[in-house]
Copies of this chain bind each other. A is one copy, B any other.
Amino acid sequence: MRLPILAALLAVLVSPATLRSEEGMWTFDNLPLKALKAQYAFEPDKAWLDHLRLASVRLSGGSASFVSADGLVLTNHHMVRGNVQRLSTRERDLLKDGFVAATREQELKVPGLELFVLVSMENISERVLQAGQAVKSEAEALRARERETQKAREELRTKTGLTVEPVALYQGGETWLYVYRKFTDVRLVMAPELSVARFGGDHDNFTYPRHHLDFAMVRVYEGGKPYRPEAFLQWSAGGLKTGELALVSGHPGTTNRLWTLAQMEYARDFGTPMQVAASGRRRAILEAFAQRSFEARSQVGGQIYGIDNGLKATKGYLAGLKDVEAMKAVERTETELKKKVAADPKLKALAGGSWAQVQKALIESRKLALELMLVNARGSELLGIALHLVRLPVEVSKIETTRLSEYSSAALAPLKTRLTQARPIPFNPELELHLLTEGLKEAQSMLGKEHRFIKAMLGGRSAEAVAQEAVAGSKLQDPVEVKRLLEGGAPALATCMDPMVVLARKLDPLQRQLRERSERLVEGPLREHAARIARARFAVYGKDTYPDATSTLRLSYGTVKEYPANGTLIQPFTTLLGLFDRYEGWGGGEFNLQRDTWRLPARWLERKDKLDLRTPYNLITTNDIIGGNSGSPVVDRKGELVGLAFDGNQESLAGRYYYDERTNRTVCVDARAIREVLTKVYDAEHLVKELMGTK
């Protein structure tokens, strides 16, 4: 059993110094094929890679994959948790009790859930760059490039009839158009009980050793029939062992690894602490609402979960930024690049002054940050709609180059559709009132009552009174009314006395002014100079690095591997034995309230003796992933499904800024565990047969 390890060791020893560790979220057009060959003797061909790409699925904020010929899609439970919650009723709590469709007829339509498959990618960098060179000022060049991007996007959309999204890679160093096939008829097939899906709850979130059965299955339908995907992942009959190669294909959301040191320091000392405080206030507002009733909690529970998740993640990011050693490494890298730029007259002209410009922009950002955070619709859905209604006629009347970005020609149609279509989730005036009231109170307490935003919105009255009047008096919850106002244009708006529209007319100029200043003093310069530094980096290092995450498809490679933590080495796999150990370790059936976190559903306890408890349950790999990768398939070198990425360990959170191979680990559900429990706990042998292609 030692050979593969020896081989890997040898590979590392003989590999050239330029080959780094398993760092990297690689775009499918620029994969680290040399490193894969050298380190793992792994040489995937185009067919192998196309197959993995076409089996990979994107959903809002996350990832998934096709896993059967009949359109079955595997993702994380936490990616569809909100949907499962909304499908629940007081009588039938799918979140608490789980759900298994015994037949296709029982599969439940999930309103609002959209899935995307990346069918092609087009590099339009050259064309976009050209467009920017005709004009002189930085701001005009930016606009020109944006226009050209939108134009190319529109062309491709028309040509393909598919969803086309522009993607800026390497901080704008490259521009691409990604073409997606979109699916909107998605039905819930299987979701385990919340208590096993997130066993250990918020406590265990972002930790390891973990015991989460964080998977769910949905099925894509087209024309009322199960969709037959172009590609789907075969389920491995076995699974991974320690040291074996693991590939993760998914949609990492955001990393900031190409940030300058100054940006990281800004985040560490100012931006992130401010954001943590804001999230805490937002959570308190939502929690106060959730406590009103079962229905209230089921409406905002998902948002609260999202905030908790975000807060724990943010604290991890902050810990990463506070790691003195790691930040020194960031500084060294930057110093090296700066030197190379300074030594080359062309690069110096391009980006020599950019670091100082970034610094300057960050100073401006500090001044504007509080107002930018607070001067907005304050969580009110109707005020948000009203703001669009007020702005649309104005913006549409301008030439494209001077419009606010969300009113570009390309964005107009989808925006209008969104404003006028029926809601997937019914409007809740109570929640609307609560959010607006508390949002206004928060702004008042932080800006002071003499601030022009507070004066404009409240006019000396209380937040409660203003919000009450606005929510009660508005008709904007009705898409018909919104449509009427939209179609009426400027004249209809000018005479509209809907109280939300009245508030929006006051908010609009204040927000425009702030946005203009932020664009001019902060966002514009940051974008411009990040792109300049990125272009300089390109010139120095070429494209053997990977771009920061952008919620687009990436491939990451790594191995199953332990790491040092908590004073010891942490095991690469957990097993079902460990799940029951943690249940019993809190006293088994004898829980007090706090211990509900490590509870198991009755059917798990009843069927425990049927399970092979040695079955690998969760596992860790060195793959470089981040939020947005949740639900990504983990495949072996055959391209077969061996696991499902659902999280990182605490230490991986620093991965937002840098990858530390010693401790950064991806946490996955082992595919073997899914098969084991589908069969023995959930009576879902039919699904296992479908997955294994043996039905």
Contact = CB atoms under 8 A, between A and B. Distances in A.
Interface of A: 1-2, 5, 200, 203-204, 206-207, 209, 241-242, 312, 562, 565-569, 571-575, 577-578, 580-582, 584-588, 590, 592, 597-598, 613-614, 616, 650
Most buried by B among A1, A204, A567: A567
B567 A207 contact: yes
24 contacts: A1-B592, A200-B568, A203-B569, A204-B567, A206-B567, A241-B587, A312-B567, A562-B586, A566-B650, A571-B585, A572-B586, A572-B587, A573-B585, A575-B584, A575-B585, A577-B577, A577-B578, A577-B581, A577-B613, A578-B581, A578-B582, A580-B613, A588-B614, A613-B613
A2 B578 CA distance: 26
A587 B240 CA distance: 10
Given A578-B581, A581-B578, A586 B614 contact: no
A567 B650 contact: yes
Contacts of A581: 574-575, 577-578, 581
B571 A242 contact: no
A562 B242 CA distance: 31
Contacts of A206: 567
Given A241-B590, A567-B207, A571-B598, A614 B2 contact: no
B585 A209 contact: yes
Contact of A590 (B1, B207, B562): B1
B574 A585 contact: yes
A584 B577 contact: yes
A586 B571 contact: yes
A618 to B, nearest CB: 9
Nearest to A589: B1
Contacts of A1: 590, 592
Contacts of A592: 1-2, 5
A578 B585 contact: yes
A1 B590 CA distance: 7
Nearest to A651: B567
A506 to B, nearest CB: 45
A568 B203 contact: yes
A582 B241 CA distance: 15
Nearest to A200: B568
Contacts of A587: 241-242, 572-573
B585 A207 contact: no
A660 to B, nearest CB: 16
A566 B207 contact: yes
Contacts of A2: 592
A7 to B, nearest CB: 13
A569 to B, nearest CB: 5
Which 10 residue pairs of A and B lie closest in terms of their CB atoms, listed nearest first? A571-B585, A578-B581, A577-B581, A207-B567, A203-B568, A567-B650, A566-B566, A573-B585, A575-B584, A207-B568
Contacts of A574: 581, 585
B566 A565 contact: yes
A2 B242 CA distance: 43
Contacts of A566: 207, 565-566, 650
Given A592-B1, A614-B580, A585 B568 contact: no
A578 B566 CA distance: 16
A568 B614 contact: no
A406 to B, nearest CB: 38
